[in-house]
Amino acid sequence: MSNVLILSRTDVEFVLNMKETITTMENAFRELSDGSAILPQRILISAESGISLYMPAFLPQMGSLAVKIVTVFEQNPEKYNLPTILGKVLLQNPETGDVISIMDGSYLTAMRTGAVSGCAVQYLAKEDAHTIGLFGTGVQGATQLWAVYEARPDIRLCKVYDIRKDVAEDFAKKMSKKLHIPSIKVVESPHDVVKGSDIVLTATTSPIPVFRGEWLESGTHISAIGAYTPKTREIDTETIKKSKVVCDEMNACLDEAGDLIIPINEGVITKEHIHAELGEIITGKKAGRENESEITLFKSVGLAIQDAAIAQLVYDKACKMRKGIEVEI
Ligand SMILES: NC(=O)c1ccc[n+]([C@@H]2O[C@H](COP(=O)([O-])OP(=O)(O)OC[C@H]3O[C@@H](n4cnc5c(N)ncnc54)[C@H](O)[C@@H]3O)[C@@H](O)[C@H]2O)c1
Atom 21 of ligand 1 has which residue's CA nearest to it?
Answer: 138
Atom 2 of ligand 1 has which residue's CA nearest to it?
Answer: 302
Task: Give me ligand 1 centre to Cα 145, in Å.
Answer: 13
Q: Looking at the structure, tell me whether residues 217 and 132 fall in a common domain.
A: yes
Mutational test site, ligand 1, from 139, 144, 171, 204, max ligand atoms within 8 Å of CB: 204
Q: Looking at the structure, tell me whether residues 143 and 276 fall in a common domain.
A: yes
Is 224 part of a structural domain of the chain?
A: yes
Is 116 part of a structural domain of the chain?
A: no
Atom 43 of ligand 1 has which residue's CA nearest to it?
Answer: 226
Is 197 part of a structural domain of the chain?
A: yes
Is the pLDDT score of 278 beyond 80? yes
295-312 pLDDT, tens digit per residue, is 999 999 999 999 999 999
Is 267 part of a structural domain of the chain?
A: yes
Query: Is 68 among the catalytic positions?
Result: yes
Task: Give me ligand 1 centre to Cα 301, in Å.
Answer: 12
Interval 155-177 mean pLDDT: 97
Is 117 part of a structural domain of the chain?
A: no
Q: Looking at the structure, tell me whether residues 143 and 269 fall in a common domain.
A: yes
Give the CATH number, domain containing residue 170.
3.40.50.720
Is the pLDDT score of 134 beyond 80? yes
Mutational test site, ligand 1, from 205, 249, 307, max ligand atoms within 8 Å of CB: 205
Is 58 part of a structural domain of the chain?
A: yes
Report the predicted TM-score, pTM, of the whole model to 2 decimal places: 0.96
The whole domain housing 226 covers 127-302
Residues with CB under 6 A from ligand 1: 109, 113, 135-141, 161-164, 167, 203-206, 210, 225-226, 228, 300-302
Q: Looking at the structure, tell me whether residues 317 and 269 fall in a common domain.
A: no
Give the CATH number, domain containing residue 17.
3.30.1780.10
pLDDT value, residue 2: 87
Q: What percent of the chain has pLDDT over 90?
A: 98
Is 114 part of a structural domain of the chain?
A: no
Interval 33-38 mean pLDDT: 97
Q: Looking at the structure, tell me whether residues 164 and 69 fall in a common domain.
A: no
Q: Looking at the structure, tell me whether residues 297 and 320 fall in a common domain.
A: no
Is 268 part of a structural domain of the chain?
A: yes
Interval 73-99 mean pLDDT: 95
Q: Looking at the structure, tell me whether residues 272 and 313 fall in a common domain.
A: no
Q: How many domains does the chain have?
A: 2
Whose CA is closest to 263, among 218, 231, 223, 228? 231
Atom of ligand 1 nearest to the CA of 164: 37
Cα→Cα distances 269→218, 242, 275, 278, 287, Å: 20, 10, 12, 20, 20
49-72 pLDDT, tens digit per residue, is 999 999 999 999 999 999 999 999
Q: Looking at the structure, tell me whether residues 80 and 192 fall in a common domain.
A: no
Atom of ligand 1 nearest to the CA of 303: 3
CB 113 within 8 Å of CB 140:
yes
Is the pLDDT score of 1 beyond 80? no
Q: Looking at the structure, tell me whether residues 85 and 210 fall in a common domain.
A: no
Q: Looking at the structure, tell me whether residues 175 and 258 fall in a common domain.
A: yes
Q: Looking at the structure, tell me whether residues 207 and 253 fall in a common domain.
A: yes
Q: Looking at the structure, tell me whether residues 277 and 175 fall in a common domain.
A: yes
